[in-house]
Structure 1
Amino acid sequence: MNRRVLFLVFFFILLFSLADSWLWRRRRRSYRAPVPKSTQIWDSARNKVGSTKWNYYSYWGEGYGYKKTWKCNLFVYDVLTEAKAKAPTKWSWLHRSPISANEWTNPNSKNIKGTGCYKTVSFSSKQKGDIIAFKRKRKSGHVGIVSTNGFYISALKRKVEEDNIEAFRRRHASIVKTIVWRYKC
């Protein structure tokens, strides 16, 4: 009888210590801080640097027919969608499609504000993961994702590149306004 009691005591001590260890690991895992949405957006954009999927000559989208067009807006749409952020869309014929780069330059856009997830911020307070849009005179605008150290990531003519924001603005004298949007949901 003594042996049996000792065995049961030993067995329960071992069982409880293993259970406690397992529960402690699970508890510790659940305390990890969630990754901010802005970081998820930036990570998604950064992982696409060098990709030719959104180049000027590529075909993008099912039935949209975006070929031989600038696709910076489609790049931003795909990045936001991958990061599980609400990407603004508009009605185009019988379906919804991504908004244009020019619409990103409109601080009063109903399609952007209609998501309830974006607010404009000053250029000086931009952060990685923000959406930056450049309005041009008499031309299509341009849009990308703010990166670090004064850079942004966007689809250009041949591939997705990381470029210096100020250098881009100097190279394109037709830029009349820069708008920065921050995701807040």
Structure 2
Amino acid sequence: MHCKVCSYLVLSYSMVKNNMHCQLPLRLLICGFFISLSESQGTVSAKIWESAKNKINSTKWSLTNSWNGDNDYKNKWKCNLFVYDILQEVHAVTPTRWSWSKFSRAPIGANEWANPNSEYVKDTNCYETVSYSSRQKGDVIAFKRNEGSGHMGIVSTNGDYISALREKVQEDNVDSFVKSDPSIASTTVWRYTC
């Protein structure tokens, strides 16, 4: 594998050292670093998708359940908690906010994820927004509603996404979901970049 950055670094190094034997090992080292960095970003997205896919039909995030033993979450929608747990499981940096009721950090909600200017998400320095048409498996997709709570999930394949619904985690078609819910005001897609 060869890249322009590697060539520049090799050239600079050989100009300083003027030692031809150092060029190849340095090129491999530097190129290996950049290749490994870009592959790890793709690997995290794949892990996010795989983790979400493995939770299909799980009732852990159903409306009537508690969340991680906390009964305050009973009878509350948990699509954001599902995404939070998936990101935590794959060791991805996860945006949180201060919760005065818990007196600790807590996951951000679906409407906050749906805000393309969310300081909570941007402050992680690990996510960038991408266009709806550019979404890929492993991206976080969030739907802002005109009123009430939004909805969110993990982008899957074939135009689908995986999310926690009333009874269980399901995989559904994104376009069908958007068309079936006139209260959806906007959709934001975040890609993990760390």
TM-score relative to the length of structure 1: 0.80
Look up the SS of the partner of 2:49 in the other structure. Answer: helix
Q: Aligned letter for 2:85?
A: D
Who wins on radius of gyration, i.e. which is larger?
1
Q: Aligned letter for 2:133?
A: S
1:24-43 matched pairs, under 5 angstroms: 36-43=43-50
| Coordinate RMSD, CA, aligned | 1.5
Partner of 1:59: 66
Partner of 1:86: 93
Q: How many residues align?
A: 154
Q: 1:120, CA displacement in angstroms?
A: 0.4
- Structure 1: tracts of 5 or more residues without a match: 1-31
> Which segments of structure 1 move beyond 3 Å, counting only runs of 4 or more?
32-35
Look up the SS of the partner of 1:36 in the other structure. Answer: helix
Cα-to-partner distance string for 1:92-151 (whole Å, 9 max, x where unaligned): 011001000110011111111111100100001000000000011112100100000100
Q: Aligned letter for 2:46?
A: T
Distance in 2, Cα, partners of 1:136 & 1:99 = 16
1:32-181 matched pairs, under 5 angstroms: 36-63=43-70, 65-93=72-100, 94-181=103-190
Q: 1:63, CA displacement in angstroms?
A: 4.2
Distance in 2, Cα, partners of 1:87 & 1:177 = 22
Task: Give identity over the alignment, percent.
Answer: 58
Look up the SS of the partner of 1:65 in the other structure. Answer: helix
- Structure 2: tracts of 5 or more residues without a match: 1-35
Look up the SS of the partner of 1:169 in the other structure. Answer: helix
TM-score relative to the length of structure 2: 0.76
Q: 1:64, CA displacement in angstroms?
A: 6.7
Q: 1:170, CA displacement in angstroms?
A: 1.3
Distance in 2, Cα, partners of 1:145 & 1:75 = 9
More helix by share: 2
Distance in 2, Cα, partners of 1:159 & 1:138 = 23
Q: 1:160, CA displacement in angstroms?
A: 0.1
Partner of 2:8: none
